[in-house]
Structure 1
Amino acid sequence: MTPGRTDGTLDPITLVARDPDLARRRAEQVLGDDCTPTTRSIALRTLGAARRELGDPAGAERLLRQSAAVAARAGDPEHAAQARASRLGLLALRGSGGYAARTLARLSADTASARAMLLTHHGLAAAQHGRFDTAVAGFDAALDALDGDTDRSLLPGVLSNRGLALMYAGSLAESAADLEGALSRASDSGQTALRGVALQNLGCLAVRTGDPARAVACFGEAERLVPAQRLPLVRMDHADALLAAGMHREAARMLGGLGELGAASGRYGGGRATTEAATAGLLQAKVLLARGDTRAARGLARRLRRGFSDDSLWAELARLIEWSARHSAVPAQRSAPPRFTRPSTRRGPANGGAGPGPGAAPPNPRRDDTHRCPPPAGAGSGCADTAEAATALAHCVHSAPLGPVSAMLPSGPEAAALRVIAAGDHRSPRGRLVDPPGGHRPARHLELIVHARAHRREVAAAGARAALRAGDAPAALDWTEFASAPALPAGPCRNGPWLDLLDRCRALHARAHRGDAAARRELPALAETLSTAQWHADCMTAESGGAPSRHEPPAAAALSRNLAGRAFVRYVRVHGTDTAITVVDGRTRLHPLPSAPAVEDAVAKLSYAARTRVLSGDEETSAPDGVAAAARRVDRLLIGPVSETVGDRPLVIAPSPPVQALPWGLLPSLRGREVSVAPSGRAWLAGGGADADPPTGPGRVVLAAGGAPQGAAGEVGALASVYPGAAVLRGAEARVEQVLRAAAGAGVAHLAAHGSASAQTPMLAAVRMEDGPLFAYDIERLSRAPRVTVLSSCWVGGAMPASSGAPLGMAASLLAMGGRVVVAGVLPVSDRTVGSAMLGFHRALRAGTAPARAVADHLAGAGFVCYGTG
């Protein structure tokens, strides 16, 4: 580092923005040699800036004071002013200054570059206190003061901070332009660390705009670029993005990996908290809320608040969590949440996970070849946690150009909608949440779609709860449909690394099935990696179907016009309360249901009893205290409250998460009745509704049999007589790639094979073909799913709810990729008896019988369900 060099090594901003640790080493090297006073001043300033980024603010301030003194003694006012401006910025970031800050400001205003730095720090101080319009004005003034080539190294940092302030001020398009500009300039100038900060800030913007997939991708890349000392801040932003997507368990794991930083959040009370520990504590409180532990969340928020000054942003945010915890625990209260400069609501999911029974394998299933459910080979079955989030925080980290200034603020139209709902108006806010056309492009993975817009789902839950309290059935239905509006993946994922992971997972499953213990041990970690790896750049855009268009008619009216003699039943769970909403003959009604625990317990007992009966080989008998008794209890709890309204009409059912894997055909009131199960009313309408019955001609037919069980090949052979000319895939021809190619766009596809499903990894639900499992993930590789798919396998029909409550799994994937009907089982399937039932079903289907009618006549008693528009 000698005067006259032009590679940026004499520019502390560029050097620190490139790599703070490298900047420290170079500065120390220069200071160890003889050098001019100007070079010494610059080296001290570089070392001070590096120390600030490396977590030593006291040492940084001492070095910056020395830098200013060396330059002043040498008669170099330019570098003295720059050192003072840097020190002033450090004081502002630490929330201190007083007389020293006023003196530094006066002495730093004499040169253009120092004045630009000074104005930048003014903007940062305003942002730190939540005055974002003032912050934008400060950054605008800093940009005006920049002196072209001389100050180009400062430009990316100013743009990055201005972009964050614009985001909080609600100017999202301008924010995106600034942050993209900061990223581009930092990349061009080799400012690696600052490039990481720009990506981090772009991730925060993506959270703000409801694009968690892009946010996670940005944070993942930022983690590879920022210095180690900044990693906790990026990971906290990453955790907040996961919370915004309703993925509270993943967020908790990420926060748990922050070690002492996260632990410090539990020790507030007397002193002042650091920015990083405060952020960690507030996020941990948010996780507690997402888990429904309102008492612990409120207690932690209270301890956090006592550690901050009363007028600080942190205290306001802690008060917001306290308010959210109090009012989510007492739903009937109607006070408005605390107000902020730019409020919004970033909340967790409106619906919880599955109960303890549906979709999970029984404790010790009989593992022979008479059922189409092989022993699990990896992650076991489990139950998603019930999650009800009730807070609104969006955590971001700024740089000046690299100094951390955290400001977690809510913002956006969701907060305004919540305030209107809290004031007693549950009808008008929904129209304010409509996206502009083209505002979001579709994602390529179903999981990305169902995790998007968690904050909107929570607003929808609040609107639905208010409508239910008011007895307004049409509005309650509109809110619940708004929360689950259908959206299609944008098309096949073509990301090579992710597809390689999927193939590796398939190979591990195949090895585990052959008894490889090492493969079995590797599977759980790989399954988690596969799930998180979807958040890659190729598939990181958010879905477009999160809100209906302005001109879309109310859900009740649209359903009434299309039901054609059917009855629609929507089961709703909002904040722990279960309700049924029916649309019958143009009327929409509310039907209170028994307590949620009673429903979950009954459903779990029925599923378990039915599975046990099949696995024991005792399908022909049912003891009074067995399946029949359990089915009567579920019938009484779920069908009884709506029976008078729906009569004996065919049903379209949109289930709540606890009943997404229910064998509906076993219920006494539904035996022999046509039942179609759809994710939502609008999804049923989008699939064609009552007009979606397949024509008599099935079109192209694909029949595929896995290598096991023994009856699969015979079943497919018998069905070939029903469909002359069908493509029949058996043995070596029934490999995953060949089956996918043949099934794409087919009229009817029938797959007979072992099946598996897990509540922990629903998109790894699979039917086992010759070379390994064909996963639900694989369905997303189809350009279009078959019109009608029949899965003659155990378990795979049972949808597993994501933390958002949206269904995931094999049937959900087939419907999302354009399939109209999926017939699949939610119980074990007996290889001895299913063949004749399937033959009867397909003969009826071939003769023109509607799929729901054919299922009711031939398959419902064996635990098969007709999904979609049957």
Structure 2
Amino acid sequence: MTVRRTEDETAHQITLVARDPARAHLHARRLLARSSEPRTRSIALRLLGLAQYELGAVRAADRTLGEASEVADRAGLADAADQARVSRLGLLARRGGGGALGPLLDDAVRPERPAQAFALINRGVSACQLGRFEAALADFDAAMHRMGPDADARLLPGLLCNRGLALMYAGRFAESAEDLSRALALTEQHALDHLRGLTLQNLGCLAVAEGDVARAVLRFDSAEVLLPEQRRTTLRLDRADALVAAGMHREAGALLRSLPRSGGDARPDAEYATTRLIRAKLHLGRGDRTAAAAQAGEVRAAFAPDSVWAELALQIEWSARFVTGRRERPRPVPPSVGAAGTRSGAAEGPSGSGDVDAADDPARPGRSGDPLRLPEWAADLPATAGTARLLADAVATAPLGPPTLAAPRPGHARALRALAAGDRAAVRRELRRALAGSDRAPAAAGHLETAAHARASVAELARLGAEMALSCGDATEALEWLEWPERAGETAPAARRCRDAGWLRLLDRYRAAHVRAAAGDEAAGAELYDLETRLGLAQWHPGCPAPAVGAPSSGPVTHGIAAALDRRAFVRYTRLRGAPVAITLVDGRARAHPLPTAPALGDAIDTLLHAARRDVTAPGTGAGPLTAERAALVARLLVEPVADAVADRPLVIAPPPEAQALPWGLLPGLRGRPVSIVASGRAWLRCRRRRLPRTPRVLLVAGAGLPGAEAEIEALRRERPGARVLSGARAHASALVRELGRADLAHVTAHGGVPADAPMRSGISLAGGPLFAYDLERVPRPPALTVLSSCAVGRSVPSPTGVPLGLGAALLACGGGTVIASVLPVPDIGTAAAMVRLHAALRSGAPASRAVADHLAGSGFVCFGAG
């Protein structure tokens, strides 16, 4: 009878807390105010302590639960005292516990104890905190057996929620999903809203572990509205881990910075370890190996060597040896009115990026002089630079969990072992099998930015396949491998349309804050920073579900590219085996061309851009001597090594990441030559599907605050009679989004702004605020040809998967065919006349790449897409 009464009281108290901790807190206070009976007071104090813990008052909860057991002990109420003590042990278990916690929990789970089932659950939670998930599962199973088939349905969902999380960390995903789904159904049935939030949080963690970040973020969103503010720190840590796994380091960093800092005396627990390990992975993503190792070292020092947190920290320290670094870029200032004489609306940071040398020896001693052993799952893999990169990427992008989750998938590991054995056929077979699985993987959320950050491991595996092919002298197969990531992420452009009202309101708020900041409102600057963070984090939402990935195009892509090239030549730049290389496709034949390794390409492009920005000239007047000298250096690195293969053919170029902002028309050997810049060969084929009609519907747009914009549009109106014109107050973002979907050819003249660290916030200034790259995702059918007569908006930034992001890149990704835009400041003098000549050439039937080469390329304009 005592045991049954104990379980009934436990079920009632847990139900109140699981439903709403704040109401449970109030109910306990009322019980204490009106009753002095010892059992009632002990029960009320226990309920109050449980509620205090869920509301974040941990120390108060510890004191209250201690008082509950003392009240029961003085009254001789052994069962009530046992309940309170077990609850307090559970609190300590969730906070990391201490050296004496284990024996106390062992004593509490003795069969004669009235709260044995509850104690078993708490001991299981304690084992989870230490990363001992099999032991945790044994305790959860024992608790379920103790509760029996008639277990109170109000107690069961909490047990299932904890057990589901332990199953996930044990790598048993299907069983985890079953337990968590069952727990979710029970919480809904019994209106246990708080526990439902915790279950949704665990389901989000499971989605991250399974690689579906979009579903994870939606789960976290649903959980957040159900949890009190005090419990949202761990939820936001899980969200940050999901963003890191998706490669969205800037957004993850902003989320971490928004969290409250724990005090210096904070007890090392799961929250402590998670925060530091996520920061370590962020440093890995940014190439800061020293900071990554330091954060991981703190965790290793705080936990037992056999705990999951110490193992994860060890993996991150190991991975820090092999990451490729990127130079940090300065944070740009908010866009403002452009400098006199140019069409720039924002300060520009440096473009291009250089590689930091990374160690290639996994066994190299650390700075302390102690050797750093490989993780167990990596110990028998080949110690090559390519392997190290892949394994480091696996750790840096994997969700936090036991070492088995951070290891590469079995197919990836089999491919690496085959590579070490020199079995080329097995490598090809295993890589194709692994990459074919990525074709069937869940797609990223519908936004371009989230999609571009998905499947970074696919690009690394494809590069490994290309390295293998080139080592055997097969450039055609290498090109096929390099084109695979595009295949894995193919979706119909229409699938990316965002219709979420909340997202659109947030974008409009950001636009309005820009207008206020330009007018001198100081408060708007702080609001801009807050909204920038929210824009990055808000790209997963129910109104924008992940598009289903269609069946990728079958068969080799090289034949399709070769057939479409005609007289053109295709050049794809990449880095294989740590060295730069170009692969050309000319007359159906693929060849590999090693590129010079010094000086660094990124540095050479940076110096060229610096000179070219200071040497902006009117179209057709030629570059200054410094710009010409630096352009010649870049040409020696990129153009001369392939000159014999491509001869004087028009070019289709897939550039290296460092050259996303390169003014190709300034390079010797390319001046006056038609050049089309594309993300990949597959992307070029896709852009070619959009052809300009013989009699296109034309849209001409004059942006706000740009001297000469109206005159340029008026001159083009004479060249394009019947064109629809937006100017003045009529040229605002919503109108342009609407009209772009109706036009075959669009010409926009406006100030342009390109933040160095946020390419999807690149924008053009219009009445009522800028139009951003984000806005272009709402255009149902972008024009076949778009001309952007604005400063630098042709620049893009490569994502971790290699997919370019930016204003022009967004137009192409959403279904456009060709974009003509500048990667340099655009001078007012002479540009209007050059644009008239461009349109005259287009009307006469000249391809876009030919028209750009003849009239605009010498001043920094580039033809992107079909050409």
Task: Give yes or no for TM over 0.5.
Answer: yes
Instruction: State whether structure 2 residue 748 is matched by structure 1 residue 751.
Output: yes
1:116/1:589 Cα in 2 relative to 1: closer, same or farther (>3 Å)? farther
Matched, 1:509 2:481: no
Q: Which residue of 2 aligns with 1:528?
A: 533
TM-aligned CA deviation for residue 664 of structure 1:
0.8
Counterpart contact for 1:766–1:775, Cα < 8 Å: yes
1:167 equivalent in alignment to 2:168: yes
Following superposition of structure 1 onto structure 2, how do residues 414-429 of structure 1 map, counting pairs within 5 Å? Answer: 414-425=408-419, 427=428, 428-429=430-431
Q: How big is each residue's C-alpha offset from its partner over 1:375-429, in whole Å with a ceiling of 9 and x where there is no partner?
A: x3xx864669889964627898xxxxxxxxx955552884334433543535323
1:674 has 2:677 as partner: no
Relative to 1, partners in 2 of residues 1:364 and 1:132: Cα closer, same or farther, differing over 3 Å?
Answer: closer
2:98 equivalent to 1:104: no
Q: Contact conserved, 2:337 with 2:518, CA < 8 A, in 1?
A: no
1:774 to 764, 771, 776: 771
- Please state how far the C-alpha of 1:834 moved relative to its aligned partner: 2.2
1: CA distance, partners of 2:476 / 2:748: 40
| Structure 1 residues 118 and 527: CA distance shift in structure 2, 3 A | closer
**Alignment partner of 2:199: what SS?**
helix
Shift in Å, 1:636: 0.6
CA drift at 1:836: 2.9
Distance 2:433 2:674 in 1: 35
Listed as ranges, the matches of 1:494-573 within 5 Å are 494-514=499-519, 519=524, 522-539=527-544, 541-542=545-546, 544=548, 549=552, 552-573=554-575
The 2-side partners of 1:280 and 1:117 are apart by 29
Residue of structure 1 equivalent to 2:687? 687
CA drift at 1:147: 6.5
**Structure 1 residues 45 and 382, CA gap change in structure 2 (3 angstroms):** farther
Structure 2 residue runs of 5 or longer lacking an equivalent are 356-388, 420-426
Query: 1:478 Cα deviation (Å)?
Result: 4.6
Work out whether 1:317 is the aligned partner of 2:303: no
The Cα of 1:282 is off from its aligned counterpart by 2.1
Give matches, 1:80-479, under 5 Å. 86=87, 89=90, 94=97, 100-107=104-111, 117=118, 120-121=121-122, 124=125, 127-128=128-129, 139=140, 151-172=152-173, 175-176=176-177, 178-187=179-188, 189-219=190-220, 222-223=223-224, 225-258=226-259, 260-261=261-262, 273-328=268-323, 367-368=339-340, 370-374=341-345, 376=346, 381=349, 390=393, 392=395, 407=401, 409-411=403-405, 414-425=408-419, 427=428, 428-435=430-437, 440=442, 443-460=445-462, 473=475, 476-479=478-481
Instruction: Give the deviation of 1:579 after TM superposition.
Output: 3.1
482 and 141 in structure 1: CA distance in 2 versus 1, 3 angstrom threshold: farther
CA distance in 1, matches of 2:92, 2:338: 68
- Matched pairs, number: 812
Alignment partner, residue 341 of structure 1: none
Write the distance in 1 (CA, Å) between the matches of 2:328 and 2:802. Answer: 8
Q: Give me the TM-score of the superposition, normalised by structure 1.
A: 0.81
Secondary structure of 2:262 counterpart: helix
Taking a change above 3 Å as real, the CA distance of residues 136 and 480 of structure 1, as seen in their structure-2 partners, is farther
Q: Distance in 2 between matches of 1:228 and 1:100?
A: 31
- Contact 2:108/2:119, CA 8 A, preserved across alignment: no
Q: Which segment is superposed worse, 384-393 or 582-591?
A: 384-393
CA deviation after TM superposition for structure 1 residue 499, in Å: 1.7
Aligned to 1:311, what secondary structure does the other structure show? coil
In 1, distance between residues paired with 2:780 and 2:735? 14
Q: Aligned to 2:722, which of 721, 725, 741?
A: 725
Report Cα offsets for 1:172-211 as digits up to 9, x if no partner. 4554454355345435544343233223223322322333
Amino acid at match of 1:600: G
Partners of 1:634 and 1:850 in 2: CA distance: 26
User: How far, CA to CA, are the matches of 1:84 and 1:515 in structure 2?
Assistant: 60
Rounded Cα–Cα distance in structure 2 between residues aligned with 1:705 and 1:472: 50
The CA distance in 1 between the partners of 2:87 and 2:738, in whole Å, is 62
- CA-CA distance at 1:18 after TM superposition: 3.7
Q: Structure 1 residue 236: deviation in Å? A: 2.2
Deviates more, 1:247-256 or 1:512-521: 512-521
Q: What is the one-letter code of the residue matched to 2:632?
A: R
Q: Give the alignment's TM-score, normalised by structure 2.
A: 0.81
Whole-angstrom CA distance in 2 between matches of 1:285 and 1:734: 46
Q: Deviations over 1:604-656 (max 9, x none)?
A: 222222222226x69725443x2211111111111122222322222221123
Q: Which runs of 5+ in 1 are unaligned?
A: 266-271, 330-350, 397-405
Describe the shift of the 1:844–1:50 C-alpha distance in structure 2 as closer, same or farther (beyond 3 A). Answer: same
Aligned-residue CA RMSD (Å): 4.3
Q: 1:24 to 1:786 in 2, by over 3 A?
A: same
Q: What's the counterpart of residue 583 of structure 1?
A: 585
Q: Secondary structure at the match of 1:861?
A: helix
Please name the residue that 1:492 is paired with.
497
Higher relative contact order (CA 8 A, sep 6+): 1
Distance 1:575 1:28 in 2: 67
1:106 maps to a residue whose letter is R
In structure 2, the partner of 1:605 is 607
Give the deviation of 1:572 after TM superposition.
2.3
- Percent identity between matched residues is 46
Query: Would the aligned equivalents of 2:344 and 2:752 in 1 still touch at CA under 8 Å?
Result: yes
Comparing 429-438 and 304-313, the one that deviates more = 429-438
Does structure 1 retain, via aligned residues, the 8 Å contact 2:747–2:786? Answer: yes
Which residue number in structure 2 is paired with residue 648 of structure 1? 648
Which amino acid in structure 2 is aligned with residue 838 of structure 1? M
What SS class does the counterpart of residue 672 from structure 1 fall into?
A: coil
CA distance, structure 2, for counterparts of residue 244 and residue 384 of structure 1 = 24
Corresponding residue for 1:481? Answer: 483
Equivalent pair of 2:759/2:796 in contact (CA under 8 Å) = yes
Deviations 1:47-95 (A, max 9, x none): 4534655434864774675588589x4586xx67766765665676537
Contact 2:690 2:784 in 1 (8 A): no
Alignment check: 8 A CA contact 2:350 2:606 kept:
no
